[in-house]
Amino acid sequence: MNPLWLGVLMALLAVYAGLVWFAFSTARKVERLVPPLGQFVEVQGVRLHYVEHGSGPVTVLCIHGLAGNARHFAARVLEPLSRHFRVVALDRPGAGYSAPLGDTPTPQAQSALMAAFIDALGLGQPVVVGHSLGGAVALALASGHPERVGALALLAPLTQHPKSVPPVFAALAIRGPLVRTMIGWTLAVPLSIARRDAVLSVVFGPEPVPDDFGLAAGGLLGMRPSAFTSASTDLAAADVGMSTLVERHATVQAPVGILYGTHDRILQPAMHGNGLLAQIPHATLELVERAGHMLPLTAPERVVAFVHEVAGRRTTAASV
47 Cβ neighbours under 8 A, 6+ residues apart:
40, 41, 98, 99
Tell me how far apart the alpha carbons of residues 112 and 104 are, in angstroms, rounded to a whole number: 13
- pLDDT band per the 50, 70, 90 thresholds, residue 9: low
Tell me how far apart the alpha carbons of residues 293 and 48 are, in angstroms, rounded to a whole number: 25
Report the chain's C-alpha Rg in angstroms.
20
Task: Residue count of the chain, please give it.
Answer: 320
Tell me how far apart the alpha carbons of residues 212 and 88 are, in angstroms, rounded to a whole number: 21
Alpha-carbon dihedral angle through residues 199, 192, 65, 36, given to the nearest 10 degrees: -130
Beta bridge partners, 62, equal 89, 129
| Residues 236 and 229: beta-carbon distance below 8 Å | no
Of residues 308 and 18, the one with the higher pLDDT is: 308
Of residues 182 and 320, the one with the higher pLDDT is: 182
- Over the chain, what is the mean pLDDT? 94
Q: How far is CA 102 from CA 94, 134, 161, 240, 251, in A?
A: 9, 18, 22, 14, 27
| Residues 221 and 34: beta-carbon distance below 8 Å | yes
Reported as a single tens digit per residue, the pLDDT across 110-168 is 999 999 999 999 999 999 999 999 999 999 999 999 999 999 999 999 999 998 999 99
pLDDT at 318: 57
